[in-house]
Amino acid sequence: MQRRNATTLIPSIAIFISGYTPLFLIMMIKDVQSVNWFTHSFNAPVWGISQISLPVGFIFKNVNVVWGLFLISLLSLALLWFVLKNITSNPFDITVTKAKSRSSEVVNYTIPYMISFVAFDLSKWQDLLSLILFLSILCLLSIRSQSIFINPILAALGYGLYDCSYKENGKDKECVMLSQRDLVAGDSVKYKKVNNYMGIIKS
């Protein structure tokens, strides 16, 4: 019997977007027009310092776009957290027979980040539309290729990717596994099938 995919369309899109929250952060930083500073002067120098200045606010050139990027990023990260928390319910017992790391593939995610270092202007609708179209195509390809969990945010959280051979109910199977622990031959673990090509190890 074929199991249903553990992630449906909306969570899949959110997981994809979460991988590009650092890109959105770079774009927001580049859109800063000026910085509001708080300055405090000491009555007497402390360790040779008579005053300190701290940034307390930012003024953006395109406030509405920046807020949109911020809210999209926040929502996608919240959905990613929700999916990771609930996706491993009712896991299956398996025994790993062979595992090979393929976490280096996450580096491929950095290629679209080059967008932020070219002449990209958040005030131009043409640039925004081009970004939306570009990310939409990448999102479609990621969902169709079942690779949405190849994600730098997950890598930052300690998740690694493994080409894994394993035994489940005495049957030999293969799958790409997402795991927060290093997988080695002989490990007995619990996992949940995410889609036809990928599973996630229960921590």
Number of domains observed in the structure of the chain: 1
DSSP string, 13-37: HHHHHHTTHHHHHHHHHHTEEEEEE
Is the per-residue pLDDT at 52 higher than 60?
A: yes
**DSSP 3-state percent helix, strand, coil across the chain (nearest 5):** 40, 30, 25
**Lowest-pLDDT range, 74-83, 161-170, 193-202?**
193-202
Quick check: is 1 in a domain?
no
Quick check: is 92 in a domain?
yes
Tell me which residue range forms the domain holding 131: 6-202
Residue 87 has what pLDDT?
Answer: 78
**Token pair listed for 168:** 């489940």
- Residues 18, 102: Cα–Cα separation, whole Å: 20
pLDDT, greater one: 68 or 197: 68
- Chain-centre distance for alpha carbon 26: 15
Quick check: is 43 in a domain?
yes
Quick check: is 40 in a domain?
yes
In the chain, the percentage of residues whose pLDDT exceeds 70 is: 86
Quick check: is 134 in a domain?
yes
Closest listed residue to residue 97, CA positions, set 171, 43, 199, 29: 171
The model carries a pTM of 0.74
Q: Sorting pLDDT into bands at 50, 70 and 90, what band is 143?
A: confident
DSSP string, 65-82: HHHHHHHHHHHHHHHHHH
State how far the alpha carbon of 108 is from the alpha carbons of 19, 50, 171, 197, in Å: 11, 48, 33, 19
Is the per-residue pLDDT at 177 higher than 70?
A: yes
Residue 115 has what pLDDT?
Answer: 65
Encode pLDDT of 110-124 as tens digits: 666 666 666 677 888
**Token pair listed for 101:** 């790391």
- How many CA atoms lie less than 13 Å away from 71 in the CB half-sphere? 6
Quick check: is 190 in a domain?
yes
- Token pair 């799958």 is at which residue? 175
Mean predicted confidence (pLDDT) in 150-162: 84
Encode pLDDT of 62-113 as tens digits: 999 999 999 999 999 998 888 888 877 778 888 999 988 876 666 666 666 6
- Helix then strand count (H, E) for the chain reads 5, 7
Quick check: is 108 in a domain?
yes
